[in-house]
Amino acid sequence: MTATVFANARILDPSRGLDEVGTVIVRGREILAAGASARNQGAPDGAEVVDCAGKAILPGLVDSRVFVGEPGAEHRETIASASAAAAAGGVTSIVMMPDTDPVIDDVALVEFVLRTARDTADVSVFPAAAITRGLAGQELSEFGLLRASGAVAFTEGRRTLASALVMRRALTYARDFDALVAHETKDADLGAGGVMNEGLYASWLGLSGVPREAEIIPLERDLRLARLTRGRYHAAKISTAMSAEAVARAKADGAKVSAGIAIANLSLNELDVGQYRTFFRLSPPLRAEEDRQAMIAALRDGTVDVISSSHDPQDVDTKRLPFAEAASGAIGLETLLGAALRLHHNGDVPLLRLVDALSTAPAKLFGLPGGTLAPGAPADLIVVDLDEPWIVREDAIRSRSKNTCFEGARMQGKVLQTLVAGRTVFSA
């Protein structure tokens, strides 16, 4: 069995609260030891020793919200291309959204994703299944069978369940299978036709706005239903201070709720839309700077549990259009870590909390292996130079779609090596 010793690295393992210089020993598919104490542990026979002085080792990132075009829109992204992008971005596990064509609402589709991932992907791919058949918002999909076949969560993807009754049933039924319901909330009427944050800036651009209330009203409904049903509910993508407050209240009441945020809502604000730049058309929209600051605070204090890339590949056919006609979404797997590390370099969020939100917390929430460097865990880890500067270049993007919000952006912190189950799947 092959073994590697990563020596003299700064080890960041939120699962054990570790931030110390030490050694990580990988044997086969597993982590044998990681930490300062592992320095004194003898290396396995024939182990390769890599000096990681000045570098950091983190558990591989776990991205809980990734849209892939396979099946149905392979020209935008395949499972293989998403996997290559993930590996380069230090993401070792992805939770794949069910809004594909056909929709992942059936055991056969879950099996298709897992099979395709096994054959073509280097990172771990975990499908999330649709809450309702065909994402139509009416009949529940087969939670029990889907879960048994490997679906890790239930979500309507980009859509919001309009019916409070269906949400109540979904949360109640999911509880029996200890399944997580992840939901992005946007009121279909209040946010109808809205394409960016409602406010002065949208008014000048002549674009219709999405008010913050379009997110909060269905979220408040869901949080009440989570209290009522005791089901596990994840507010997948929140963007406003009021949403964070609502989640914090529900948590304080003992409801089994959590919250996620897309990295864009932590990195950018509505002014980045500039003169109708469609790559910055996102859902929820980029909000005002006050919202971004409030979300950073919510991430810091743990109200927001996880950060996702919300990777959403779109092609020229859906993006090279007038702003209001363009699709929303941006890719993000390859820039997730770099953009998140800005919050560390700025002193906004402690490094260990960041790594927790990017890896440990989502792994725990979605019940995935990984997210930890504890002995016995799968060797999903990344070697990172936390300070190395680099610039995002379109021609270096591995994703099949190029709709990044960070074209030309300066990043500080680069992934040097990515290991999935002990195998190197990316090295810079």
Partner 1 sequence: MSSAPAFPLFRHRHLLGIQGLSPEDINLLLDRADAAVEVSRQREKKLSTLRGRTHINLFYEASTRTQSSFELAGKRLGADVMNMSVASSSVKKGETLIDTAMTLNAMNPDILVIRHSAAGAAALLAQKVGCSVVNAGDGAHEHPTQALLDALTIRRKLGDIGALTVAICGDVLHSRVARSNILILNALGARVRVVGPSTLMPSGIAQMGVEPFTSMTEGLKGADVVMMLRLQRERMAGSFVPSVREYFRFFGLDAEKLRHAKPGALVMHPGPMNRGVEISSEIADGPQSVIQEQVEMGVAVRMAVMEALLDPRRNEAGE
Contact (Cβ atoms closer than 8 angstroms) between residue 292 and residue 269: yes
Q: Minimum Å distance from CB 399 to partner 1?
A: 22
> CB–CB of 131/114 below 8 Å?
no
CB of 237 to partner 1, least distance (A): 22
Q: Which residue number, 45 or 189, has a Cβ lying nearer to partner 1?
A: 189
Nearer to partner 1, 28 or 211 (CB): 211
Give the number of other CB atoms < 10 A from CB of residue 348: 15
Helix (H, G, I), strand (E, B) or coil at 416: strand
Query: How many Cβ atoms from other residues are within 10 Å of residue 249's Cβ?
Result: 15
- Measured from the CB atom, the residue of 177 and 276 that comes closer to partner 1 is 276
Half-sphere exposure in the Cβ direction for 300 (13 Å, CA): 13
Residue with smaller CB distance to partner 1, 208 or 293? 208
Minimum Å gap between C-beta 325 and partner 1 is: 6
Shortest reach from residue 203's CB to partner 1, in Å: 4
Q: Which residue lies nearer to partner 1 by CB, 277 or 364?
A: 277
Q: What are the tokens at 60?
A: 């591989």
Contact criterion met (CB below 8 Å) for 86 and 333:
yes
Q: How far is the CB of 207 from partner 1 (least distance, A)?
A: 5
Q: Which long-range contacts (CB under 8 A, 24 or more apart) does 392-397 make?
A: 392/334, 392/335, 392/338, 397/85, 397/331, 397/334
Query: Least CB distance from residue 244 to partner 1, whole Å?
Result: 22
Q: Toward partner 1, which CB reaches closer, 40 or 275?
A: 275
**C-alpha 142, offset from chain centre:** 24
Q: Got the DSSP string for 241-258? A: HHHHHHHHHHHHTT--EE
- Residues listed for the chain: 428
Cβ–Cβ < 8 Å for 14, 359: yes
CB of 297 to partner 1, least distance (A): 24
Q: Contact positions toward partner 1, by CB under 8 A?
A: 198-209, 211, 275-276, 317, 320-325
Cα gap 195→204, rounded to integer Å:
13
The residue (of 108 and 188) whose beta carbon lies closer to partner 1 is: 188
